[in-house]
Amino acid sequence: MSSQPEPQITVLDAGGQYTHLIARRVRELGVYADVRPAETAAAELAGRKGVIISGGPASVYEDGSPKVDPGLFAAGPAVLGICYGQQLMAHLIDGGSVRQGEHGEYGFAALRIEQQAPLFEGLADEEPVWMSHRDQVDTPPPGFAVLASTGTCRVAAIGDAARRLYGVQFHPEVVHTPRGMRVLENFLFRVSGCLNDWDPRSRIAAIEEEIRQTAGNRNVFFFVSGGVDSSVAYRLCLRALGKDRVRGAYVDTGLMREGETAYVRDALGVDVVDANAQFLSALTGVTDPEQKRHIIGEQFVAVQDRVLNSGHYLDGDWILGQGTIYPDTIESGGTAKADVIKTHHNRVAGIQRLIDEGRIIEPLTPFYKDEVREAGREIGLPAELLDRHPFPGPGLAIRLLCTDSDAAVRPAEGGWILPVRSVGVQGDSRSYRPVLAFDEAPSAELLGRAVHAVNRASEVTGWWRGAEGIRRWPASRSGARRLPARGWKDCAGPMRSFGTRPGGQGSMPRPGSSRSS
């Protein structure tokens, strides 16, 4: 028994950073979906009930831009193109055309339903949607009707009911499109004819059997971070193989929350490896987040090698366990077309070598974060561990935004533009731009204008709540227990934990608290 059924829906990845979110939304509706490259042959998808083509940062007119097999549109499965997917559909089907846009549109729009269709069953005549595009469809292919429009996008949705082909320029998968899940639900059940077949809680027995098959006679050694993914993977391996065959160690990097190490040690019963000095020394003076991620990933590998060599873990009887989940590869630009937003520390070169050597067991790779939490609840992990605020492997090294510049803070409406930059996503591409700070929790009206401006500006792509989070660290400061600050001049960071204390329930920050968006 496999830990997942045959997919009814395949999401073709055209390089969009929302690709895995689309598949996750489909699964939330009770239908199993997988993600495949855009160029997957139509013949390989003939057994699917439906196919969704994702958005992406490219233009259909660019050399090397993602393409799908044109035979897909006559292969039988229903097809939904989202954003770039709609443009690609119009571009590849004879008679359609796409217009190159001069200015991008990133933000809310009012969608007007021009013609009723199964895709929009249950929607009002006008709905708020989220746009993130530059190009747009100019002429739909023959047989397609224009189903919806916005004030700036004449062809915001198209459909050919006879061939079950639909396209939308907006993003139904994001929370900023309030009725987007209804659009996806309509595509799954009214257009594609899917059946409910997916509940991650019912897959526990299958996961444990796959663990036993993968491990064989070998034992499993885990480096447990204390996060949801590694904790659930570790506990599943314990259940499948028994405590005599599974060992766990927690690496204290010096970059964690106050009390984190003691909480993880007590909650999971793992050994603690003190690597503070190694990580803080390697990170001295580094401000770029991607460089930090690579350094931290390689330091993790170095610590792992040292720990593995200190025992009998390399004698062939042991393999390395990890809590890698389905989206981790796309976050590292895991497809040929995706723009790198951040590098996942489970996929740096050192870890990839272990994978190539067949010394890795990753029982959660088919699952999304919410599905991992559901599995964790099913096997009895405490809510305090599963529901607390997420914390990345790179820890505070990434959460603390730093710069080596002495640039001044610049005033802006309701706050300041800080001389630090933060990684974000804009139009399916990675952005790394200045942060907008407020000295107190902004009003809904001001926050709405800020979001509108952020998503249309090339200068600012995020905001930081709480000017009290701005600190100046002297260049001579060194050896900080929790803050690798030596040589770093300006840091924006939390004055207090913006999650919860270890063992506490996860929560949003209170008004005025420091948090990066």
493 touches 469 (CB < 8 A): yes
3-state helix, strand, coil in the chain (%, to 5): 30, 25, 45
Check if 91 is active-site. no
Helices 369-378 and 19-28: crossing angle, nearest 10°?
A: 40
The crossing angle, in degrees rounded to 10, of helices 204-215 and 228-241 is 70
Residue 183, token pair as written in the block: 């659009």
Helix (H, G, I), strand (E, B) or coil at 439: coil
Catalytic site residue 171? yes
> Is 83 one of the annotated active-site residues of the chain?
yes
Q: Is the Cβ–Cβ distance between 489 and 405 less than 8 Å?
A: yes
Q: How many CB atoms lie within 10 A of CB 372?
A: 24
d(CA 85, CA 169): 8
Which residues contact residue 413 at a Cβ distance below 8 angstroms, ignoring those fewer than 6 apart? 446, 449, 450
Q: How far apart are CA 6 and CA 2, in angstroms?
A: 9
Going from the C-alpha of 321 to that of each of 206, 248, 303, the distances in angstroms are: 17, 9, 15
Indicate which residue of 173, 185, 210, 260 is catalytic.
173
User: Considering 83, 153, 237, 491, which one is annotated as catalytic?
Assistant: 83
**What 3-state class would DSSP assign to 179?**
coil
Q: Is the dihedral of CA 289, 420, 341, 494 positive or negative?
A: positive
Q: Which of 91, 171, 344, 345 is catalytic?
A: 171
| Catalytically active residues, by annotation | 83, 171, 173
